[in-house]
Amino acid sequence: MKGAESRVESVIAQRKAEASGALVGYLPAGFPDLKTSIDAAVALAQNGVDVIELGLPYSDPVMDGTVIQAATQQALSNGFRLRDGFTAVREITAQVDTPILVMTYWNPVLQYGVDRFADDLLAAGGAGLITPDLIPDEGASWLAASERTGLDRVFLAAPSSTDERLRQAVDASRGFVYAVSTMGITGARSDVDSAARSLVARLRDAGATSTCVGIGISTAAQVAEVLGYADGAIVGSALVKALADDGVEGVGRLAASLSAGTAA
């Protein structure tokens, strides 16, 4: 993890000093509509979420589980456009200081223009990107743009990754490395499996100073379990479901409940 000081890594380090680690919360921009998605992200920040992961809806979400797919498809059918993502970041950061990482598949960034995307994200107040389908050795243009702008860049690591791939992810990432706890798509599960624990250990051996685990976390107990060995716990599908079922109030309630899992 190299380069400019990372807002995200600073927040995670602070949360490790104060408690057991950081809570990262994912919601898609534009679901169920743009204004509600902004209000919901603000509610995350106001209820104990330390880093916001804001998803950009995409027509071919190969890594997303059914809950997130349904939400992003609804956002797209309501007319969500890429520029709405920058609007959301701008309006959330105007209300809260919580850093926002935009989670996006790589094709929309390429279509928009990598440098233009980086500049517009920075101007909106965003902290960086999570790029699930981009590997570091195919990301030269993004590595250059993020060096120029100081934006964070979060790459994924999976249990199936070779040691060399893990080292590449660690070296290229800034903010944290995103450890995917199971193979396949996202979605809340009743237990977070042991593959995540060994993956985090392998990432530490590869030099990672900040690793967050995502995919399958839906309760405060699971947050606490993950923070027993990782630096951050990422919750997505459970928060999206809470927003779908119970609106902004429901998502704030769940965030507060999950946040209790970060207590030391």
In a domain, 258, yes or no: yes
Q: Whole-angstrom Cα distance, residue 107 to residue 109?
A: 5
In a domain, 1, yes or no: no
pTM above 0.75, yes or no: yes
Closest CA to 215 of 229, 196, 201, 242: 196
Q: How many residues belong to the chain?
A: 264
Tens-place pLDDT, residues 14-69: 999 998 999 999 999 999 999 999 999 999 999 999 999 999 998 776 666 788 78
Q: Is 55 helix (H, G, I), strand (E, B) or coil?
A: strand
CATH no. for residue 92? 3.20.20.70
Tens-place pLDDT, residues 129-183: 999 999 999 999 999 999 999 999 999 999 889 999 999 999 999 999 999 866 5
Which residues constitute the domain of residue 196?
A: 7-262
Exposure letters 8-22 (e unless 16+ CB within 10 A, then b): bbebbbebbeebbbb
Counting the structural domains of the chain, the total is 1
* Residues labelled as active-site residues: 53, 64
Q: Whole-angstrom Cα distance, residue 29 to residue 36?
A: 9
In a domain, 189, yes or no: yes
Residue 194 has pLDDT above 90, yes or no: no
49: which 2 tokens?
């979420």
In a domain, 2, yes or no: no
Instruction: Give the per-residue pLDDT at 264.
Output: 63
Closest CA to 178 of 259, 72, 103: 103
- The DSSP output letter for 174 is B
Contacts of 54 (CB under 8 A, 6+ apart): 26, 27, 28, 29, 41, 85, 88, 89, 92, 100, 101, 102, 103
In a domain, 77, yes or no: yes
